[in-house]
Amino acid sequence: MVEVTLENTLIGHQNPIYTLAVDEQNGLLYSAGNDKGIVEWDLNTMKFKRVLCTVPSSVYNLCFIPEKDLLVATLRTGGILVIRKSEPELVAKLAVEKGAAFVVKAILTKNELLAIDEYGKAYVWNLDNFELLYSFKVSNTTVRSLALDEKNQTLAVGDKNGYIHLFDTRDYHKINSAPIHTQSVTSLAFVDGFLISGGRDAKMYKTSVTDLSKVAEVTPHMFTVYGIIPLGESIFATVSRDKTIKVWDTEFKLQKNISRDRGIDSHHLSINSAVYNSSLQLLCTAGDDKLVKVWKLTF
């Protein structure tokens, strides 16, 4: 059984937090959202370190690429900032054609950066010179969730209509597509050889990565599932608009339920994002209450 204890609450944001990223090697956490800045926190001292950089608009997604020392931020305005973290300096300013990009991922085996705009178009850039290599349609509607299995060269995309699409990262051809949720797919993760998905319909499904057949389902939260975070080979956490954090095994057996209703000093508004630092065994969560909560996990 996993034990979860609150280590600290990081205070400083003035507006809701939408996204988190972690630098595991250096014990650093990055948070951003409706404030016009990306904040760096030290997870060893549990203290504010600096405002890494200011940004012109809300940040929807952060992606840290440790192998390149790059932090990528997607903006509400449609811009994508690539920041050299140690300096910090702006390395590249990219953009999608229409709307904003809610998701961004590095595909290191190909030295590529992939983002998808809110109209379902994917863009792929070279991670060295940031030249746009290609763009292609992955969905006919908004995409808010993305998961990558680099070992098996598979990319999973979840769209607003409840469909999950699988692509081969070698040439980005579509492997499969299936309607899984009745509303928008808001979170995806590859865990223990399966694809786990969460949606605005408050459902969570375990699906086969070969044919997207449903293996198991559960209603994990009262509202939207905003994050699925692998904590190990056969255990993961979920966060939700219902303000709770839950820990599950891959059989969908609930291991832990963390909420204010249980007398725990958790979030009191929607939890929008979570990341896990496995070396420190710290789960970090953030949301509309402008707080970052840092939880110690003991297995």
Residue-wise pLDDT for 75-131, tens only, equals 999 999 999 998 899 999 999 999 999 999 999 999 999 999 999 999 999 999 999
Q: How many Å apart are CA 19 and CA 8, to the nearest integer? A: 18
Q: Is residue 183 part of a domain?
A: yes
Q: What are phi and psi of 260, to 5 degrees?
A: -65, -30
Q: Which residue has the tokens 């595909």?
A: 107
Give, for 238, the enclosing helix (H) or strand (E).
Answer: strand 235-240
Residue with tokens 């992939």: 114
Ramachandran sector of residue 120 (left: φ over 0; alpha: ψ -120 to 50; beta: rest): left
What percentage of the chain reaches a pLDDT higher than 90?
Answer: 98
Mean pLDDT, range 148-167, rounded to an integer: 98
Q: For the domain that residue 194 is a member of, what is the CATH number? A: 2.130.10.10
Separation of alpha carbons 230 and 237, rounded Å: 6
Q: Is residue 228 part of a domain?
A: yes
Round to whole Å and give the CA distance between 73 and 288.
19
Give the confidence band of 1 by pLDDT, cuts at 50, 70, 90. confident
In a domain, 77, yes or no: no
Is 214 part of any domain?
Answer: yes
Cβ pair 54, 73 in contact under 8 A: no
- Condensed to tens digits (0 to 9), the pLDDT of residues 27-67 reads 999 999 999 899 999 999 999 999 999 999 999 999 999 99
233 band by pLDDT with thresholds 50, 70 and 90: confident
Helix (H, G, I), strand (E, B) or coil at 34: coil
80 in a structural domain: no
Q: Count structural domains, the chain.
A: 1
- The predicted model gives 208-225 an average pLDDT of 97
Q: Does residue 156 sit within a domain? A: yes
pLDDT of residue 41: 99
> Residue 283: its pLDDT value, please?
99
Q: Is residue 295 in a domain? A: no
Domain membership of residue 61 (yes or no) is no
The per-residue pLDDT for range 245-272, each reduced to its tens digit, is: 999 999 999 999 999 999 999 999 999 9
| pLDDT at residue number 189 | 99
Residues 6 or more apart whose CB falls under 8 angstroms from that of 133 comprise: 112, 124, 125, 126
How many Cβ atoms from other residues are within 10 Å of residue 140's Cβ?
12
Return the bridge partners of 106, or none: 113
Give the range of the structural domain holding residue 189, as residue numbers without chain letter: 142-266
Record the tokens describing residue 144, joined without a space: 């808010």
* Cα–Cα distance, 275 to 271 (Å, whole number): 12
Query: Does residue 134 sit in helix, strand or coil?
Result: strand
φ, ψ dihedrals at 11, nearest 5°: -115, 140
Of residues 70, 72, 78, 58, the one with CA closest to residue 18? 58
